[in-house]
Amino acid sequence: MDKIKDLNDQESSRPFIGTTYSEAIFKNATHLVGFCFDGTTSYRPGARFGPDAIKDASFGLETYSPYLDRDIEDYNIIDTGNLPIYPSKWKITNDYFHANTKELDLKKDKIKFLVMGGEHSISYGPMRLALDNYEDMVLLHFDAHTDLRDGYLEEKYSHASIMRRMWDHMSDKNELIQYGVRSGTKEEFEFMKKHNTLYTSLDSLCDKIASIDAKRPIYMTLDLDFFDPAFMPGTGTPEAGGENFHSFIRIIKILKEKNFIGADIVELAPMIDSTGNSNAFASKIVRETLLAMQD
Ligand code: MN
Ligand code: MN
């Protein structure tokens, strides 16, 4: 493979099953990156341990997905390890990611990222990177929460405001599609109504995604509290009334046929669920997403 540069100089835990471990960024490859930050968490912390838990739990999975009929081992998927961690300093790690990726030409060199959190504020870097490279990008936001506050608890880039921060950078060329949202302030729900971003049924969401032009770039930010706490109790801010694995598979099968250019998966807090079931669940979601992202 054609190496471009090193992203990282951290020692890593075991890489995700079926992937190749390297700290470098390559052309024609998908990169799995851990962003272990939970410093703006407002309720139950611990998402900083998410990436390693997902990688560990991947060893209970197969590399083959029967849903997508694809195998991790058949593609160039690089586990770059985790970014340097500054526990309460979001900006340092975000700036580090930005500094090391801003020169990349994702489209020309066919570089993709799937970044694992950490809490939802970490998605800002990878979402900005995708938007900088794909100006007509569609942004899919799957979450129990709107994350549209204009800052929270004196933090502008809080996990509770990160979609609002992205909205600041989006234009008429982009589209924000939100699904799974079942918690937010009245103002946030009015915001979604005004801008027509919220889909309230799986059928309408799937019809919408299916209608997107096959060439148009699509990015997915997935907060794992999108899923019902019955399936995903290991998350900082659980919210009853969520989705199940099969609705996700229905969505991801549509994305497989699209120009799926990047993703992040956030908010697994492994210590909250001592059974480890949440880790296994999240790990399977990461596998399906990595595979759907392949061309
Ligand atoms: Mn969120
Ligand atoms: Mn959430």
Predicted pLDDT at 9: 66
Distance 4 CA to ligand 1 centre (A): 32
Distance 223 CA to ligand 2 centre (A): 5
Residues 279-295: pLDDT tens digits? Answer: 999 999 999 999 999 99
Domain ranges of the chain: 20-292
Distance 144 CA to ligand 2 centre (A): 5
Using 50, 70 and 90 to split pLDDT, how confident is the model at 10?
low
| Nearest to 252, CA basis, from 226, 279, 277 | 226
**Closest ligand to 221 CA?**
1
Residues 106-127: pLDDT tens digits? Answer: 999 999 999 999 999 999 999 9
Distance 14 CA to ligand 1 centre (A): 27
For 171, phi then psi, to 5°, come to -130, -170
End-to-end, the C-alpha distance of the chain in Å comes to: 16
Distance 283 CA to ligand 2 centre (A): 18
Q: Is the pLDDT of residue 13 over 80?
A: no
Residues 193-245: pLDDT tens digits? Answer: 999 999 999 999 999 999 999 999 999 999 999 999 999 999 999 999 999 99
Distance 45 CA to ligand 1 centre (A): 13
The reported pTM is 0.96
Residues 24-71: pLDDT tens digits? Answer: 999 999 999 999 988 877 788 899 999 999 999 999 999 999 999 999
Nearest-angstrom CA–CA distance, 285 and 248? 8
3 state SS for the chain: CCEEEECCCCCCCCCCCCCEECCEEECCEEEEEEECCCCCCCCCCCHHHHHHHHHHHHHHCCCEECCCCEEHHHCCEEEEEECCCCCCCHHHHHHHHHHHHCCCCCCCCCEEEEEEECCHHHHHHHHHHHHHHCCCCEEEEECCECCCCCCECCECCCCCCHHHHHHCCCCCCCEEEEECCCECCHHHHHHHHHHCCEECCHHHHHHHHHCCCCCCEEEEEEEHHHECCCCCCCECCCCCCCECHHHHHHHHHHHHCCEEEEEEEECECHHHCCCCHHHHHHHHHHHHHHHHCCC
Predicted pLDDT at 255: 98
Considering the four listed CATH numbers 3.40.50.300, 3.40.50.2300, 3.30.70.240, 3.40.800.10, the one that applies to the domain covering 20-292 is: 3.40.800.10
Q: Which residues have CB atoms below 5 A from the ion given as ligand 2?
A: 143-145, 223, 225
Using a 10 angstrom Cβ sphere, with 0-12 exposed, 13-18 middle and 19 or more buried, the burial of residue 210 is exposed
* Lowest-confidence segment of 12-21, 46-55, 239-248, 265-274 by average pLDDT: 12-21
Distance 114 CA to ligand 1 centre (A): 16
Residues 153-194: pLDDT tens digits? Answer: 777 888 888 999 999 999 999 999 999 999 999 999 999 999
Q: Is the pLDDT of residue 11 over 70?
A: no
Nearest-angstrom CA–CA distance, 78 and 15? 9
* CA 8 remoteness from chain centre: 19
Distance 144 CA to ligand 1 centre (A): 7
Distance 218 CA to ligand 2 centre (A): 20
